[in-house]
Structure 1
Amino acid sequence: MPTFDGIQLFGFGPGTLTLSGAEMKWVSRDQSEMIKKPMKDVVGAQWTLYGRRGLLRLLWSDDTVDRLEGFSADDRTELEAILQKAEGDDGAVDIENVKPNVEGTNFGDVAFEGKRLLFERDRALVFEKDLGSMTQCVIPGNRAGHNEVEMQFLESDAVATADDTLVEIRFVMPEADEDMPETPAEELQKLAIDAAGIRNTGGAAICSFEGCSLLVPRGSYSMHLYETFVRMTGAKYDYRIKYGDINRLYMLEKPDGYRMVVVISLARGIRQGQQRYQNLVLETNKDEEEVTVNLTEEECAERYNNALLPSTVGPLCNLIAMAFRHIAGKKIFVAGSYRSARDLQCLQCAHKTNTGLLFVLDRSFVFIHKPTLIVRFNELQSVELQKGDAKMGLRTFDMTLTLKAAPGADRERVISFSQLEKDEYRPLLLFLQKQKVRIKNLHQEGAHDDLGDDDEEDEAERRRRMMADGLDDDESEDEDFNPDEKNSDEDSESSDGEDDDDFEDEEDLPKRRKKAKAKAPAARRKRGDDGDDDEDAAKNKKRKRKDPHAPKKAMSAFMFFSNAKREEIKKANPEFSITDISKEAGRLWREMTDDEKKPYQAQADADKERYAKAMESYEPPEASDDDGEEEETGGKKKRAKAKKDPDAPKKNLTAFFHFQAAKREQVKADNPEMKIADIGREMGRLWGAMTDAEKAPFQAKAEEDKARYKREMEEYDGGGGGAAAA
């Protein structure tokens, strides 16, 4: 049987080809791949010679083409003899010579043969492309009459990493005439889609969701779930995603409690132009909707054990999750036990320059949505929480995730999140500690080294449940979505065993020290430390009050100019504030020449002489020790207190004070453990609980005392005591 070594089958590396009249067999050099086809299905063959190397194309009855490259020029005769013996339906297969165009031109004609796209110039082949791997064919741009067609192709896993592979090609078509029903670009797009069969789904979808809003990639798509794949159709792009290419799905609740996002993590991302999307983000809500499944009740019972019904009504987010869970066979992961300081499942923060939401799940972080990031805890090397400087007015902190180095990578990958609110620091720290996530700078946070007995009990209980389920820390998953069960984590209360009051930020310490220093002098005065009081009093400054009869100070030239121009500026700019008017006057003054300033300078000189003459005849009033001065203490100004006359009548007491005088000893005897402040509060409570009738005796005493004070003050003022005190 003829054998050809070093033959490369398109999409694979070099291997060995065995060809006979009955069978074609190709095996890769490492024996990992083998392709076998019966020769009776061959419908044509083409031969192209590039220099000294030959290319054989075998055309099969199912419209597929195998390109075999690496033959010598002399192999053509032997290949033709073998194909003459092929047992095809049409008898012997002749080899057609195809002339290549090697001029390097990029202008020519496009033709289709089955699933093959041929680009030719002067009836010579420039290149060909199998459309079986085409995933998209779109007309990019939003304007009508666009004359470009973009084709995208699947990136084959069989191609070696170092090899180049075609993933996108664009054709620029001639401009359309006005009388054409469709443009040349639209015609080429239609022919390519029909040839590739990318919209041929082979049957009806099991269920569909119309008009789904995708945040990544942005746009409105209809989602159709089939037996083995989900199809997403938009205005331009049409994607077919196999369920096997879906790694994980998450359903997360946004802070408003109404909108939900479904994150679809893909093993092989989708492309739009040069942009690749590894994670899709679908936004939905909790509105009641109805979904119809294109199956009978018997089929639902047989294939899905009645988990799906021909018609189901419920929140839209639950219906989408239910469809993916049962049709695609994928779990939907939801938020677990974490709750933020605002009782939310997520934190608002920023990644680089983009703000978004960071969802903290039991075993992973999910950030949406620019870019969408998914980091599982078992991928983490460490987490570092970095507080902002309180002295700079920062009320946020940053979190840096260091991921374990991937095989073959030189260093670890680092992901940073910033602008997290300070209130979220403690809940996040405690949660990560409970999940056994390594905190890089934990030794700097002495207040959090010990989580308390309750946290240890929670962790022990969690590990006990995991051992009972046959899991360990690395194998445990996030919470799985189940619309029929209530999430126990949502209803359970936190058992951290510590209050927020016990947590003290480092940035709060300077404030507390400042308060302690402020209280120290008062404490010393309370202890009777007279030496400190005298020292503090010596530091107080006394400043004389301004004499209202003193001459008015001289004005500058600018002030005369400002007074003269103020109304003019205000009239020209009615929207100006007082500050704006002053700024405008300053600008005009700076732009004036010295000659223009002379009139105002003359006014200032005259006013200066006036002030000097007035000050020559001015005599300031004599200073008094007790009045007319202000005392400055600790940066605050206050009037000096007048001396109290010891012979003045004693002020009258209110009804409450008469009640206190009568009941204080009784309350003190009944509550010997009470301090003075506690006794005062107890007296206030008793007074508030009394009726008007019970308060009447004390009100009468207060009226008598008020009359006494009035009478004594009249006698005091009449005898000259008040004047003497003044």
Structure 2
Amino acid sequence: METFENIHLDLSRQPGKCRLAEHGMGWKAAGGDTWTMPSNEIVSAQWSRAARGYELKLHTRTMGIVQLDGFEQEDFDRCRHALKTMYKINLEHREHALKGWNWGKADFTKTELLFNVANKPAFEIPFSEVTNSNLAGKNEVAVEFATADSTANGEAAAGKKKKKSFAQVDQLVEMRFYVPGTTKKGEGDDEASGGEGEEMSAATLFYDTIKEKADIGEVAGDTYATFMDILFLTPRGRYDIDMYETSFRLRGKTYDYKIQYENVKKFFLLPKPDEIHHLIVIGLEPPLRQGQTKYPFLVMQFKREEDMEFDLNITEEHLKEKYEGKLQLHYEDPAHRVVTQIFKGLTNRKVTMPSKDFLSHHSQCGVKCSLKANEGHLFFLDKAFLFVPKPAVYIPFERVAHVTLSR
């Protein structure tokens, strides 16, 4: 048995005691829970310089990547001997690239993305940390990482990946890769492809590979409903909406988003004062991100006269068992009502309508106005003001100190 003191597990704030024994390994912080892993889980091990001294990185069969850091340089021989004799694993000594170059080669392994400079890794990105990826330009791919709030909210719903986000005051939330040139989709694959495949931009292939490896392209299970080409005023553009059991996905020409239903905190259905359109407003916490821009509200617009016939992709038994009284198999209503009812049934959120106590001079629920340079509409709800579409601003009455009216 080998024991090491002051070791951090998966970037934890608290150090603990790490113990290697024949049947497996364990780690425990003072006054905390014990983490254990059986010996047959470990596939390979690497030793490298890290922020807190030296790091032992373990690649496992089902638990992803396990990082243990805080080792001293002289611990290397003890670790190597313990791994060799107890687990029949060779400890590979890996040196990182220190040239400071920002160009290199990206290699995809089973569990992480390696960015190599002069055949040495500059940094690694575990796929379990990637929450989203988008084609930000013709040759640019944006990769978004788990934050503390998305981790806390998303972990239970996902029911699987353990995110390693121990958020500090400052945190890396996005990284962008410039990937020039074109490539053939089949290069490097098995010989059956013969090296011949459709030619596509290298950025698109990079993006597709990240989506597949990080398990963000598809959501487990079938779609319950898909709405095509829905007009969004915030963020602006047309998106397809795929609705699953625990989340929904927005698919646009440039951006893709996956949003857990439990991140939906508010839901509004508002008749626009032009008497032609209806707005559906969805409040999110944490907000949607596009680069530096945050979108705490999604705003969809539907024509009032547009009708929709819709059948849910769900069995009658499953509907009765889980959504009795919340959803129907068949809908035949105006489009804004159909979308609202399906969202309401799946998110379990109350739909807020404008207050019946307020009507404008033209007998409308909202009034046209401007917020700084942005034109929009101000709606009076029972407990708050809501300005839409951009920027969508929600002001509860209890936070209003005083109101000034001036011509």
TM bracket (short chain) = 0.7 to 0.9
CA distance in 2, matches of 1:311, 1:140: 38
The SS at the match of 2:317 is helix
Q: Is the 8 A contact 1:135 1:239 kept in 2?
A: no
Provide, for residues 50-71 of structure 1, a one-character-per-residue CA deviation record: whole Å limited to 9, x for no partner. 5981111111113721222221
How many residue pairs get aligned? The number is 377
| Equivalent in 302, 307, 327 of residue 346 of structure 2 | 327
Which residue is 2:67 aligned to?
67
Aligned residue for 2:266?
248
C-alpha contact 2:11 2:67 (8 A) present in aligned 1: no
Matched, 1:171 2:177: yes
Shift of 1:194: 1.8
Distance 1:127 1:65 in 2: 14
Distance in 2, Cα, partners of 1:118 & 1:328: 37
Distance 1:375 1:7, change over 3 A: farther
> CA contact under 8 A between 2:47 and 2:93: conserved in structure 1?
yes
Q: Which residue of 1 aligns with 2:98?
A: 102
Which string of whole-angstrom CA distances, capped at 9 and with x for unpartnered residues, describes residues 320-361 of structure 1? 111121112111111122222221111221111212111110
- Relative to its length, the structure with more helix (as a share) is 1
CA drift at 1:284: 2.0
Match of 2:327 in 1: 308
Q: 1:352 aligned to 2:359?
A: no
Q: Report how far residue 93 of structure 1 moved.
A: 2.1
**Partner SS state of residue 322, structure 1:** helix
Corresponding position of 1:127:
123
- Secondary structure of the equivalent of 1:46? strand
In 2, Cα distance between the equivalents of 1:28 and 1:275?
A: 38
Alignment of 1:107-256 (within 5 A): 107-141=103-137, 146-157=138-149, 158-162=165-169, 164-176=170-182, 181-256=199-274
Q: Distance in 1 between matches of 2:51 and 2:262?
A: 43
Equivalent pair of 2:182/2:199 in contact (CA under 8 Å): no
Alpha-carbon distance in structure 2 between the residues aligned to 1:52 and 1:250: 48
Residue 389 of structure 2 corresponds to which residue in structure 1? 369
Q: Kindly tell me: are residues 34 and 136 of structure 1, through their superposed partners in 2, closer, same or farther at Cα, counting changes over 3 Å?
A: same
Q: Counterpart amino acid of 1:94?
A: N
Highest RCO, 1 vs 2 (Cα 8 Å, sep ≥ 6): 2
- Give the distance between the partners of 1:29 and 1:345, measured in 2 at CA: 58
Are the equivalent residues in 2 in contact too, given 1:135–1:154 (CA < 8 A)?
A: yes
User: In 2, Cα distance between the equivalents of 1:303 and 1:136?
Assistant: 29
Change in 2 beyond 3 A, CA 1:13/1:317:
same
Shift in Å, 1:172: 2.2
The CA distance in 2 between the partners of 1:311 and 1:17, in whole Å, is 58
* Distance change >3 Å, CA 177–CA 331, structure 1 → 2: closer
The residue aligned with 1:658 is none
Shift of 1:25: 3.9
| Larger CA Rg, structure 1 vs 2 | 1
Between the aligned partners of 1:372 and 1:256, the Cα distance in structure 2 is 18
Corresponding residue to 2:285 among 267, 280, 284: 267
Q: Deviations over 1:671-712 (max 9, x none)?
A: xxxxxxxxxxxxxxxxxxxxxxxxxxxxxxxxxxxxxxxxxx
Corresponding residue for residue 341 of structure 1: 361
- Cα offset, 1:111, TM superposition: 0.3
2:275 is aligned to: 257
2:403 to 377, 384, 407: 384
Aligned pairs for 1:577-596 (under 5 A) are none
Give the aligned residue type for 1:92.
Answer: K
C-alpha separation between the residues in 2 aligned to 1:25 and 1:105? 37
Q: Greater CA deviation, 324-333 or 14-23?
A: 14-23
Once residues 39 and 376 of structure 1 are traced to their aligned partners in structure 2, the CA distance between those partners, rounded to angstroms, is 55
Distance (Å, rounded) in 1 between the aligned partners of 2:17 and 2:258: 33
For the residue of structure 1 that corresponds to 2:295, the secondary structure is strand
Q: Give the aligned partner of residue 539 of structure 1.
A: none
Deviations along 1:108-165, one digit per CA (max 9) or x if unpaired, are 1110111300011222111111122223333323xxxx32222222223453442x32
Aligned residue type for 1:42: I
Q: Secondary structure at the match of 2:232?
A: strand
| Cα displacement string for residues 350-373 of structure 1 (whole angstroms, at most 9, x for unaligned residues) | 111212111110001111122111
Q: Distance in 2 between matches of 1:327 and 1:352?
A: 36
Distance in 1 between residues matched to 2:116 and 2:384, nearest whole Å: 53
* Inter-CA distance 174–212: structure 2 relative to 1 (3 Å threshold): closer
Q: Which moved more, 1:357-366 or 1:258-267?
A: 258-267
CA distance in 2, matches of 1:196, 1:265: 26
How far is 1:47 from its partner? 0.6
Distance 1:317-1:30 versus aligned 2 partners, 3 A rule: farther
Q: Distance in 1 between matches of 2:35 and 2:370?
A: 51
Note the alpha carbon deviations across 1:80-118, whole angstroms, 9 max, x for none: 3443465xxxx5222111111112121211101113000
Question: Where does the alignment leave 5 or more consecutive residues of structure 1 unmatched?
Answer: 389-726
The more displaced of 226-235 and 73-82 is 73-82
Percent identical residues: 28
Where do 1:509-524 residues align within 5 Å? none
- Name the aligned partner's letter for residue 172 of structure 1: Y
**1:243-293: CA deviation from partner (whole Å, max 9, x where unpaired):** 111111111110123311111111111211221111111112332201221
Distance 1:11 1:266 in 2: 28
Asked whether the 8 Å contact 1:13–1:28 carries over to 2, the reply is no
* Alignment match, 2:45: 45
Shift in Å, 1:195: 1.4
CA apart distance, 1:230: 1.1
The normalised TM-score by structure 2 is 0.85
TM-score scaled to structure 1, two decimals? 0.49
Distance 1:310 1:34, change over 3 A: farther
Provide the secondary structure at the position in 1 that maps to 2:347.
coil
User: Following TM superposition, by how much is the alpha carbon of 1:319 offset from its aligned partner in structure 2, in angstroms?
Assistant: 1.1
Report the Cα distance in structure 1 between the residues aligned to 2:6 and 2:140, rounded to whole angstroms.
39
Give the counterpart letter for 2:174 in structure 1.
E
Counterparts of 2:51 and 2:226, CA distance in 1: 53
What is the RMSD of the two structures over their aligned residues, measured on CA atoms? Answer: 2.5
Shift of residue 26 of structure 1? Answer: 4.0
Conserved 8 A contact 1:41-1:60: yes
